[in-house]
């Protein structure tokens, strides 16, 4: 077996221990005589799996008891619609911060359902900064403030949690579980699982039910948070296998020392990589150092004609998924929880060697 270091933005690497456990349990989960894929989502076996995963997520993130935790489908993209449909209520107005390509998508979708005030934007900088809070134009009657704490494509992240009178709604797809977080500051946190939680197909949503409004009249049943809360995420068949694997990732996370240990490791990984990039004229990261992402590190080669060779040689060295997003170009190394420090060291060694001989 030869496993590569996969720097893809998502679906991303999973911890090897978790994959081994999945293999171990694949044909006969804990003496049930069947695979998790074959179980009824309402049976006793899957109920145990589902409850344990929720309990572990609550413990790891210290989620306030009155918050709901949902395990849904549809990806973070579904939440671009679900949040406004359930939160806009009568005001039909929301504030959004535009800090990257995922913010833009969330804004475009919310505009289908209500009035969006873009309270601040860093688009003129090419999304390389976070606009300072004193420049934000928040509205008085916004139902909520939506933002993207970590912009996966642009590699820019908020070094703080925004202060807002309206409830905060955050797309944490690429930063959830990367470090400790004060969940009580948020109205809704949502995340597609395939970056830092588990396999694709699962969307984790953490909701303060007190902020929910009457859903807009056209809201499909499956897009109503209340329906999912009342049915324990089992109004219809949930993504059982992804839920199970996410549960194993959460147990792995606990064995690693939880979010404090993970945050320290992630800070170190990012620091090592940015230091290597900054020490060279051959590579460049365009993001303001005060808001560089710990999770997604874009970098460009001074001579872009070398891009193709860089990627080919990296792949030969067992370093894959480094091609930057097509809208940004260059390279991007996504270094989520499951990327070990050795993977980042291998990338840095490769980059130095490539610079030497290219
Ligand atoms: C990947 C990503 C998305 C899209 O997620 P899907 O699960 O594909 O819908 C949205 N927002 C952010 C910040 C992401 O990183």
Ligand 1 atom, smallest distance to 80 CA: 10
> What residue owns the CA closest to ligand 1's atom 10?
76
| 355 alpha carbon – ligand 1 mean position (Å) | 33
233 lines ligand 1 (CB under 6 A): no
Residue located nearest, by CA, to atom 12 of ligand 1: 173
pTM assigned to the model = 0.98
- Other beta carbons within 10 angstroms of residue 356's beta carbon come to 8
> Mutate which of 71, 74, 77, 191 to test ligand 1's pocket (most atoms within 8 Å of Cβ)?
77
Residue 174 in contact with ligand 1 by CB distance below 6 A: yes
Q: Where are the beta strands (DSSP E) in the chain?
A: 5-6, 68-72, 93-98, 115-121, 145-147, 150-151, 156-157, 168-171, 188-192, 203-207, 283-284, 296-301, 319-320, 331-334
Give the Å distance between the CA of 153 and the centre of ligand 1: 10
pLDDT at 84: 98
pLDDT digits (tens, 9 = 90+) for 96-143: 999 999 999 999 999 999 999 999 999 999 999 999 999 999 999 999
Please state, in angstroms and rounded to a whole number, the distance separating the CA atoms of residues 20 and 233.
27
Is 75 close to ligand 1, i.e. is its CB under 6 Å away? Answer: yes
What number does the ligand 1 atom closest to the CA of 150 have? 13
Ligand 1 within 6 A of 74 CB? no
Residues 17-63 pLDDT 10s: 999 999 999 999 999 999 999 999 999 999 999 999 999 999 999 99
CA-CA distance, 267 to 261, in Å (whole number)?
10
Spatial distance between the Cα atoms of 7 and 295, rounded to a whole number of angstroms:
10
Residue 290's CB is within 10 A of a number of other CB atoms, namely: 9
Ligand 1 neighbourhood includes 247 CB (under 6 angstroms): no
The number of the ligand 1 atom at minimal distance from the alpha carbon of 148 is: 13
Edge-first strand order for the sheet with 203-207 is 68-72, 203-207, 188-192, 168-171, 145-147, 93-98, 115-121
Report the percent of the chain where pLDDT is more than 70. Answer: 100
CA distance 192 to 190: 7
- Ligand 1 atom 2: residue of nearest CA: 173
Q: Using DSSP bridges, classify how beta strands 5-6 and 319-320 pair: parallel, antiparallel or unpaired.
A: parallel
The chain-wide mean pLDDT, for the chain, equals: 97
Residue 194 CA: nearest ligand 1 atom is 7
- Which ranges of the chain have pLDDT less than 70? none
Q: How far is the CA of 31 from the centre of ligand 1 (A)?
A: 36
Active site residues: 102, 171, 195
């Amino acid at each position: 077996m030869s496993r590569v270091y996969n720097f893809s933005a998502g679906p991303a690497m999973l911890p090897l221990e978790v994959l081994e456990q999945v293999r171990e349990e694949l044909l006969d989960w804990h003496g049930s005589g069947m695979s998790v894929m074959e179980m009824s989502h309402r049976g006793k076996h899957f109920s145990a799996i589902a409850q344990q995963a929720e309990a572990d997520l609550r413990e790891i993130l210290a989620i306030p008891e009155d918050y709901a935790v949902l395990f849904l489908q549809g990806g973070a993209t579904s939440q671009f619609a679900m949040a406004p449909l359930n939160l806009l209520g009568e005001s039909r107005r929301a504030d959004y911060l535009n800090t990257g390509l995922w913010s833009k998508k969330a804004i475009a979708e919310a505009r289908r359902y209500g009035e969006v005030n873009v309270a601040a934007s860093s688009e003129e900088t090419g999304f390389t900064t976070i606009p300072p809070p004193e420049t934000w134009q928040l509205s008085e009657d916004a139902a909520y403030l939506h933002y993207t704490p970590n912009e996966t494509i642009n590699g820019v992240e908020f070094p703080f949690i925004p202060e807002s009178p309206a409830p905060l709604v955050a797309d944490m797809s690429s930063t959830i579980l990367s470090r400790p977080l004060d969940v009580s500051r948020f109205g809704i946190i949502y995340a597609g699982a395939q970056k830092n939680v588990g396999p694709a197909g699962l969307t984790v949503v953490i909701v303060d039910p007190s902020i929910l409004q009457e859903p807009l009249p056209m809201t499909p049943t499956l897009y109503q948070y209340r329906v999912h809360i009342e049915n324990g995420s089992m109004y219809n068949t949930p993504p059982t296998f992804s839920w199970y694997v996410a549960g194993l990732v959460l147990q792995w996370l606990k064995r690693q020392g939880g979010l404090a240990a993970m945050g320290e490791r992630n800070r170190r990984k990012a620091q090592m990589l940015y230091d290597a990039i900054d020490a060279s004229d051959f590579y460049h990261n365009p993001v303001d150092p005060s808001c560089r992402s710990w999770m997604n590190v874009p970098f460009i080669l001074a001579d872009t004609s070398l891009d193709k060779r860089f990627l080919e040689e990296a792949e030969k060295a067992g370093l894959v998924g480094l091609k930057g997003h097509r809208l940004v170009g260059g390279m991007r190394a996504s270094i989520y929880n499951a990327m070990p420090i050795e993977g980042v060291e291998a990338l840095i060694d490769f980059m130095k060697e490539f610079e030497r001989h290219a």
